[in-house]
Amino acid sequence: MASAAALRSRPGDDAEPARLEDIARRRITRELHQLKNNSSGADSMVKARWEREPWEWAAKLKGPEESPYARGVFKVHVTFSVVYPFKPPELRLETKIWHPNFPPDGRIYLDSDRWDPSYTVEAILYSIVTLLRYPDNRNSELRNGYAKTTNKGFETTARAYTDRYAVEPWD
């Protein structure tokens, strides 16, 4: 696959935007089909469907066992640009959650400088599931509101949020 720089380096090519959009459309479609094939089992933690074909997905994540998010189903909205996979998708957690790595507005920040076109949305969604199980406490901006609670207090609050807000059916 040609790099984004190579695609941009062809001056005067009127087909460039259409070519980038076609690359994005094919990649997004392929990724969704792969995710659906991989998530067909009963033990699957991630699923997705078209929201607005192909540029938006509605994804669901199962809260991992042995975490305060167990038995919860969390909705994630995924929006792709026409230059995907050369630019990361935008993700937003739509389910209210008590977690040090997710801000109240639900935005999930993917660092554009560290983004690699080989990353897949399925891998990102599974990374979010892992983050639910093992929070990253290094992010001081988000963790400050959670630092005041004890581990037991954090788990109690997180479980209460899960029981109240993460009630979306898995089907």
pLDDT tens digits along 79-119? 999 999 999 999 999 999 999 889 889 999 888 889 999 99
Model's pTM, two decimal places?
0.83
Roughly what angle, to the nearest 10 degrees, separates helices 16-38 and 121-133? 50
Closest CA to 39 of 133, 161, 129, 119: 129
Domain borders along the chain are 15-166
Alpha-carbon torsion 145, 129, 32, 17, what sign? positive
Residue type for position 125: L
59, two tokens: 């994804």
Q: Which residue has the higher pLDDT, 106 or 148?
A: 106
pLDDT at residue 47 above 70?
yes
Q: Which residue has the higher pLDDT, 4 or 99?
A: 99
Please give the CATH topology (third level) of the domain spanning 15-166: Ubiquitin Conjugating Enzyme (3.10.110)
Q: Are 24 and 30 in contact (CB under 8 A)?
A: no
